[in-house]
C-alpha cells in the first residue's frame, strides 16, 4: 500500500470517527424532539377535538386549519403582539445584561461576587414562586409598586390596576420576563468578556481611545458571536413565553386581548378543544422561529466559508 493511499485511508477514518460519535446524540434528539414535531404536523391537517381524545378517528381536513388561521384577524393581532413583545424584551434584556457584564468586569472581586450571587439567586428562583412575588408587588390593593409610586408628588397610583388594560398588562409581563432573563445574558456576555485581551485594551487606551470607543471598536466585535447566540435564544424564548402570561391572566383578566402566542395556543387546545387548530398555530410558531434563526445560521455559514 502506497503512502498516499494510507494517508487517505487515515483521513477517512479520522472523519468517520467523530460522525459515529454523534449518532447517539442525534438519535436522542430525533426521538425526543422529532416525534412531537411530526405529531404536531400530522394533527394540524386533521380535525382533532374532544371526540378524538376518546378514540374516534380524526378526519383529515387538509389545509382547512391553515386557511382558517390565515383568515382569522385575531390570530394576526396575537402574532403582531407576540413579535413586538419578544423583540422589545429581548433587546432590553440584552442591553441590561451587557451593562451588568461590563460592570462585573470592572468592579472589585468582592463586589463582583456579590453581584454574581444576586443574579444567580434571581435566575434559580422557580417561575411560580417568582410570579407569586411579582403579582403581589403589582397588586392594586396591597402592592408595593403602587405604594411607592403613590409617594411621589404629582403621581396618583392608589389602587391602580396594572392588569386591567392590555398595555399595562404586557408592560408588567415584559418587566418580569426581562428580570428573569437578565442573569443568563449577564453570565454569558461576561464569559465572552473574559476572552478579550487586556493588552489590546491597554494599547487602545494608551492611543487615546475612550471607553465607548474601546467598547464599540474592540470589545463588541470580539464578543459578537456570544451576543448573536444570546440574542437569538432570547428572541426564541420570549416568543414562546407562556407561564408568566398565564399566571398574570389568572391574577387579572383572561380575555383574549391579553393573549400572546403561548396562551393563544393553550386556549385553543384546552378551552376550545380544537387541537388541530392549536397544532397549526404551533407549526406557525415553529416557522417564525426558523425564520428568525436563519439569519444567525446564514452568518455562521458565511464565516465558515470565509
Q: For 111-124, how does the pLDDT look when each residue is reduced to its tens digit (9 = 90+)?
A: 999 999 999 998 88
Whether this prediction's pTM lies above 0.75 is answered by: yes
> Measured in whole angstroms, how far is the alpha carbon of residue 87 from the centre of its chain?
10
With contact defined as beta carbons under 8 Å apart, do 123 and 180 qualify?
yes
Structure confidence by residue, pLDDT tens digits, 87-99: 999 999 999 999 9
Distance CA 85, CA 176 (A): 12
Mean model confidence pLDDT for the chain: 85
Distance CA 66, CA 38 (A): 16
pLDDT at 235: 92
Average pLDDT of 21-37?
Answer: 82
* 14 contact partners, CB below 8 Å, separation of at least 6: none
Distance CA 255, CA 249 (A): 8
Distance CA 301, CA 291 (A): 15
- Cα–Cα nearest to 183, from 130, 132, 144, 146: 130
- Cα–Cα nearest to 193, from 108, 299, 106, 92: 106
For residue 228, give Cα distances in angstroms to 187, 231, 234, 292: 15, 5, 10, 12
pLDDT at 95: 94
Q: How confident is the model at residue 57 (pLDDT cuts 50, 70, 90)?
A: confident
Average pLDDT of 132-158?
Answer: 87
Q: Kindly state the percentage of the chain with pLDDT values over 90.
A: 34
Backbone angles phi, psi at 217, to 5 degrees: -95, -25
**If residue 212 lies in a helix (H) or strand (E), which one and from where to where?**
helix 211-214
Structure confidence by residue, pLDDT tens digits, 155-194: 888 888 898 889 999 999 999 999 999 999 999 999 998 8
Structure confidence by residue, pLDDT tens digits, 243-284: 999 999 988 887 888 899 999 999 888 877 888 888 899 999
Buried b (16+ CB within 10 A) or exposed e, 81-99: bbbebbebbbebbbebbbe
pLDDT at 6: 44
Exposure on the CB side of residue 97, measured as CA atoms within 13 A: 30
Distance CA 115, CA 99 (A): 12
Question: Is a pLDDT exceeding 60 seen at residue 5?
Answer: no
Three-class SS of residue 125? coil
* β-pair partners for 146: none
Buried b (16+ CB within 10 A) or exposed e, 153-184: eeeebeebbbbeeeeebbebbbbbbbbbbbbb
Amino acid at each position: 500500500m502506497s503512502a498516499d493511499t494510507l494517508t487517505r485511508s487515515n483521513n477517512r477514518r479520522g472523519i468517520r470517527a467523530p460522525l459515529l460519535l454523534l449518532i447517539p446524540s442525534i438519535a436522542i434528539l430525533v426521538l425526543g424532539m422529532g416525534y412531537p414535531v411530526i405529531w404536531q404536523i400530522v394533527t394540524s391537517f386533521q380535525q382533532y377535538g374532544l371526540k378524538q381524545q376518546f378514540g374516534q378517528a380524526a378526519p383529515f381536513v387538509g389545509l382547512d386549519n391553515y386557511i382558517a388561521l390565515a383568515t382569522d384577524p385575531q390570530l394576526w393581532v396575537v402574532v403582531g403582539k407576540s413579535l413586538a413583545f419578544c423583540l422589545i424584551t429581548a433587546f432590553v434584556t440584552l442591553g441590561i445584561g451587557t451593562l451588568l457584564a461590563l460592570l462585573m468586569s470592572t468592579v472589585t472581586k468582592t463586589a463582583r461576587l456579590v453581584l454574581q450571587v444576586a443574579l444567580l439567586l434571581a435566575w434559580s428562583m422557580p417561575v411560580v414562586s417568582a410570579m407569586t412575588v411579582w403579582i403581589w408587588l403589582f397588586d392594586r390593593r396591597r402592592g408595593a409598586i403602587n405604594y411607592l409610586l403613590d409617594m411621589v408628588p404629582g403621581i396618583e397610583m392608589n389602587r391602580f390596576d396594572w392588569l386591567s388594560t392590555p398595555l399595562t398588562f404586557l408592560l408588567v409581563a415584559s418587566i418580569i420576563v426581562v428580570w428573569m432573563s437578565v442573569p443568563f445574558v449577564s453570565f454569558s456576555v461576561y464569559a465572552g468578556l473574559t476572552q478579550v485581551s487586556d493588552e489590546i485594551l491597554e494599547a487602545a487606551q494608551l492611543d487615546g481611545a475612550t471607553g465607548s470607543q474601546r467598547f464599540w471598536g474592540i470589545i463588541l466585535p470580539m464578543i459578537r458571536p456570544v451576543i448573536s447566540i444570546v440574542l437569538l435564544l432570547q428572541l426564541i424564548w420570549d416568543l414562546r413565553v407562556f407561564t408568566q402570561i398565564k399566571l398574570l391572566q389568572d391574577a387579572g383578566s383572561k380575555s383574549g386581548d391579553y393573549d400572546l402566542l403561548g396562551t393563544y395556543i393553550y386556549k385553543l387546545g384546552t378551552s376550545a378543544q380544537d387541537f388541530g387548530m392549536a397544532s397549526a398555530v404551533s407549526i406557525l410558531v415553529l416557522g417564525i422561529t426558523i425564520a428568525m434563526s436563519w439569519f444567525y445560521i446564514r452568518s455562521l455559514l458565511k464565516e465558515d466559508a470565509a
